[in-house]
Chains A and B, each alone.
Chain A
Amino acid sequence: MSIINYASREIQFKIVYYGPALCGKTTNLDYIHKRINPENRGDLVSLATAADRTLFFDFLPLNAVVIKGFVTKFQLYTVPGQVIYNATRQLVLRSVDGMIFVADSQWEKMEENVESFKNLEDNLAKQNISIDEIPYVVQYNKRDLENIAPVNYLEYVLNNRKKRVQSFEVVSSTGQNVFASLNAVSQILLHKFSKQSDAPKAAPSPVAIPVEPPAAQKASATV
């Protein structure tokens, strides 16, 4: 749940990286932490086991653009992917604003991907939230490996809802599309946030909208 603070002029958002065990959620955060300007981030907090498996969550606070004098603060979390830690996943999902579902592209991980996505829907439902209400994008990670499913298959399996979301071919270990997917979900989130405003829109959005050409033009076009 985002919070807008007019005194400190900040808006806070929570983005959760969700996906099966060992799909690369922590690697995403690790890459962002290493590559983003240190002035725009806090420490990466990782609550992991001795074998580097996420036990509780990873957490990385980021500052993004200043919009109309307000600093947008994004808090990135990962969930533990292992099946037994479902209670922890429910906790991390609390007050979520946006999500990145990280799928492992390897054929043998397909069942785990599907189970994890279903688990995400179930855990959101426990908070009375439908996944369609939350801005999210999908990452197809580990595209550098050999035994991977083609993207159209992954789309069919994991992104086949009524409203398809943006998806990215990612190699989180090298950073391919790591920032692109984060930027995509952040922008969808901010647009949704802006639409929830009560304030009258001052100016129309500069997005290009196809307009019916005037009748005269239409006639000439058909000649």
Chain B
Amino acid sequence: MSAIPCLTIEDVANLDGVLGEFLKKAEAELTVVIDRGGNVISQFGDMTVMDVTIIAALAAGSFAATKELARRIGEVEFNALYHQGNGNHIFMNSVDDDTIMITVFGRRTTVGLVRFYSSSTAQAVAKLLKSLSTGGHGFSFDASDVTATPLFSE
């Protein structure tokens, strides 16, 4: 926890702008930016269709699991992964060393279109994430805020 990424309202608006534009051009349903540990950084699109937190955890796992496969054929990792369904599909691509972008799309578009636009979007997202503040997060609370009651109860 030495460097805690802090997403300000402005950062989120900027990310939403880039992701919204991507969804419009690629005609996809949902896009989620996650770190490689499975944490959701930003999301845009129709989030009612699935639990984004779970998608993020599984996608991070799936991306990392194929790294070893890539290594076996002399690659560092696969830059992109595509899971094809009958009607809905998932495309994942690397944003930078710490971040992955997941796109869920259906029959309205094609994997080629998603792949084409995701490349420039990933570059734009990487640039935005680079500028995030990772110093002190400026959020503090008193001990009583968390010790007054158990955080989780049966």
Task: List A residues at the B interface (Cβ < 8 Å).
Answer: 1-8, 11-12, 14, 32, 35-37, 40, 42-43, 45, 47, 56-57, 59, 61-62, 64-65, 67-68, 70, 72-75, 77, 87-88, 91-92, 94-97, 133, 175, 179, 182-183, 186-187, 190-194, 196-199, 201-203, 205-207
Contact = CB atoms under 8 A, between A and B. Distances in A.
Interface string B129-144: 0000001111111111
B1 A179 contact: no
Given A43-B54, A175-B154, A14 B39 contact: yes
A214 to B, nearest CB: 26
Contacts of A186: 146, 151-152
B65 A2 contact: no
B1 A8 contact: no
B57 A97 contact: no
B12 A6 contact: yes
What are the 7 tightest A-B residue pairs by CB atom distance, in nearest-first order?
A95-B37, A198-B136, A7-B12, A197-B140, A205-B143, A64-B151, A35-B154
B111 interface: no
Contact of B143 (A1, A12, A32, A191): A191
B9 interface: yes
Give the dominant DSSP class at A's interface.
mixed
B: interface residue count bin: 35 or more
A123 to B, nearest CB: 14
Contacts of B141: 67-68, 190, 194
Contacts of A1: 1, 3-5, 35, 37, 39
A191 B40 contact: no
Nearest to B8: A6
Contacts of B151: 64-65, 72, 74, 182-183, 186-187, 190
